[in-house]
Amino acid sequence: MSSRRVRLTGPTAYLTSMKRLLRDNLEGFLLRGWKQTDKENIGVIDDDIIPDIVKIQSEAFQNQNEKDILRYSKHSGKIFYVIKNQREVVGYCIYYLKTIISSKGFVKQSVIYSIAIGKNFRGKGFGKRLLKESIEEMKLNRISSIFLYVSQNNLSAIQLYEKTGFTITEEIEDICSQNEKCYKMELKLI
């Protein structure tokens, strides 16, 4: 549903890795006191199901990166959601948090880094349920808005996001993958 980012090299890669390190540390601080809601068949990541997540990621995205799954499972475990059908993992949604300065002071936002449903479970409401339940938890934790990036070619995902209340705010190139146009979408919560 959401897409991978382009791989960088040289000084740009170094700056990007430093930015991620800073974000990971800030996120740990932002996740202190995180309130979780009871969600039937939706939980947070644990090490035992990482292979299932990697498999779903590889089905959904060309440029999969297992390292990102491992990094987010360690640093963003409270906001790395997994949905199951009975005992089988059928999808996931990875968020990360960031702060911005606004007229209201510091405001917490979240970004959906990646969301995917296994190919045998698509079109059955799992993505919609995972998205809605995780959004409710974001509201509970006073997240002001949620952003995501989606390929303009992924019409089913765009429709799901719009039905959930997201709106297109910008058209961007080279963020989902090289030479691909994406939409930046936002859902305002507060």
Per residue in 81-139, pLDDT (tens digit) is: 999 999 899 999 999 998 888 787 888 999 999 999 999 999 999 999 999 999 999 99
List the one residue out of 97, 107, 94 whose CA is nearest residue 134. 94
DSSP 39: -
Rounded CA gap, 188 and 190, in Å?
6
CATH number of the domain where residue 79 is located:
3.40.630.30
Look up residue 71 and give its amino acid: R
In a domain, 3, yes or no: no
- Residues recorded for the chain: 190
Structure tokens at 31: 């996740």
The answer to whether residue 1 is domain-embedded is no
pLDDT, position 68: 85
pLDDT 10s digits, 39-71:
889 999 999 999 999 999 998 887 667 888 888
Q: Which domain range does residue 66 map to?
A: 10-188
Give the chain's domain count: 1
- Confidence band (pLDDT; 50, 70, 90) for 22? low
